[in-house]
Structure 1
Amino acid sequence: MITPAAHPARPAVLPIDQVDGIARPVVAAGAQYRHGAVQPWHSHRRAQLLYGLSGLMQVITADGAWVVPPQHAVWIPSGREHQSRMLQAVTTCSAFIEPEHAPRVASSCQVLAVRPLLRELLIEATRMDPHYVLHSREENLIRLLLDEIGRAEEIPAHVPLPPEPRLGELCHRFLAAPSIRSGPAQWALQLHISERTFSRRFLAQTGMGFQQWRLRACVMYAISRLALGQPVTTIAYDLGYERPAAFSTMFRKMTGHMPSAHPAAQAAPARAD
């Protein structure tokens, strides 16, 4: 039995361990997590669309990390082992989809922009009886939900991680405290290899040049800080920029938004003056 929602915009809750036993192509469930909560490494037999109705999440797999701003979702393919971290208190809607009905073919996670129709379909799906009657309005709604998931636009929120342990450790440390001042020569020195060898190895293992990867990591970090309501100037200086305007220009080129206009910043709690 689904627990009634306490708020008109809040999804009803279905225990995750009940999902696989329901003989329907799609089962929707809501959940709420406190700030700092971590879901340990796990995988699902079904594919999952994990939508953040509010709050900020980070999803990590063996091959990368994704920051999921409010009003965005992450597509997690069937069987993909992952860990979720809640960078704020988070309310989620999830659609768990049988692999043969998956509307996306990506083999790795994707962060997706959620338009109003998809958002309302996800919320409504969590309020339906999970044993919805076939050939009914509810089944039609699920079909439309799958269509909208397939059409959703991917946004560049992926920071790939290399499989080599020593290089991977440096990447994880950088993600925790990124800086544009960190250069390939410093990384090569720590790995006891030449800068040329480092650059070649980094590209081969991540699919991105180091500078492109560094900018992507800085943007993802900035988004997480914006979602917490922190000032653009503070974020810029913490990332190593001498002029906040330079940071804002880079951020706009990478995301299509000025920092203060990004969805993460718009959904952030108001700061006390």
Structure 2
Amino acid sequence: MRNVPVAEVDDLDRAVLAIGTDYPPDHLLVWHAHRRAQVLYAATGVMRVETADGSWTIPTARAVLIPPGTRHQVAMTGVSTRSLYIEPAAVPWFPARCRAVDVSPLLRALILEAVEMEPRYPAHSRDAAVADLLLHELRNLAPLPLDLPLPADPRLRGLCEAFLRRPDVHDPPARWCAALHISERTLARLFRRGTGLSFSQWRQRACVLHSLRHLATGTPVTRVAAMLGYDNPAAYTTAFRKLLGRPPTAYRGAEATGAQAAAPGRAATPPRPPE
């Protein structure tokens, strides 16, 4: 299925529904929730999925698991998605919180194949076997450290969201303290309690994850490092590798790979909100 709102097919008696959706540039899918569990795969582009307790930056050819009933919004840069919507009873192991995951070549092929299937696929058919194999493969996904926790405290969260719009790896804690009228010790305590990270850890993580969208569009590493305030590209590369286990160059050019993985002949019909 392509560019079909899940609400139109949600009541079908099938454990797995697959929908491909093509979004305009810089699209924001506003806050919503699904009855089914969702596997949201970025066939092209970069997504930032936000919930009440955090955000997940998903580059091309990766996915995020979204538990049923979880309110979320998705900011997209050049994104075409392939989504699996799964009856909760079919995935009792599904995480209670969103989780970014790697996608194996086999799982990627199964997701792309499932999008081409008829939604009312017959029981015991080849398409039903694809759906069953999808459920098996989903149990073995490797988690990726692409999440950024966000605090519940409304004042601190507001500053965090403002930082994410213009991240700077050297943004001083004193500025945050002045805005909140608190001491640096109190700021440290609020960050640890609200995110599980220190201020500097959160700031570094936010910068690295933010850089993924620029890498995906082909921005040179030297320019990305400068945009984020790193003293030099080597410092940025070290921070990137420490978090993601690979250098920034591993995420450049992934857009082309993802575009090839998105089955040919993508529909040009605009999406009908929300998925």
Identify whether the pair has TM-score above 0.5, normalized to the shorter chain: yes
What residue number does 1:211 align with? 200
Aligned length: 256
Q: Which runs of 5+ in 2 are unaligned?
A: 257-275
1:172-191 superposed matches below 5 A: 172-191=161-180
How far apart, in 2, do the equivalents of 1:211 and 1:106 lie?
Answer: 28
Match of 2:120 among 123, 128, 131: 131
SS of 1:87's partner is: strand
Pair 1:246 & 2:235 matched: yes
User: How far off is 1:166 after superposition?
Assistant: 0.6
| Overall identity of the aligned pairs, in % | 45
User: How far off is 1:136 after superposition?
Assistant: 2.5
Structure 1 residues 91-127: Cα deviation after superposition (integer angstroms, max 9, x where no partner): 2111100111126431111111111100110011111
User: How far off is 1:59 after superposition?
Assistant: 0.8
What residue number does 1:266 align with? 253
User: How far off is 1:252 after superposition?
Assistant: 1.1
Contact kept? 2:33, 2:71, Cα under 8 Å: yes
SS of 2:50's partner is: strand
How far apart, in 2, do the equivalents of 1:74 and 1:104 lie?
Answer: 15
Match of 1:33 among 23, 35, 42: 23
TM-score by length of structure 2 reads 0.89
What residue number does 2:137 align with? 148
Pair 1:46 & 2:36 matched: yes
How far apart, in 1, do the equivalents of 2:235 and 2:194 lie?
Answer: 29
Structure 1 residues 214-245: Cα deviation after superposition (integer angstroms, max 9, x where no partner): 11101111111101211111111121112111
SS of 2:10's partner is: helix
Contact kept? 2:46, 2:212, Cα under 8 Å: no
1:46 corresponds to which letter in structure 2?
R
1:23-172 superposed matches below 5 A: 23-88=13-78, 90-102=79-91, 104-172=93-161
Higher relative contact order, chain-length normalized (CA < 8 Å, sep 6+): 2
User: How far off is 1:81 after superposition?
Assistant: 0.3
User: How far off is 1:152 after superposition?
Assistant: 1.0
Structure 1 residues 191-233: Cα deviation after superposition (integer angstroms, max 9, x where no partner): 1111111101111011211111111101111111101211111
How far apart, in 2, do the equivalents of 1:194 and 1:187 lie?
Answer: 9
Q: Which runs of 5+ in 1 are unaligned?
A: 3-11
What residue number does 1:9 align with? none
Alpha carbons of structure 1 residues 247 and 154: separation in structure 2 relative to 1, 3 Å: same
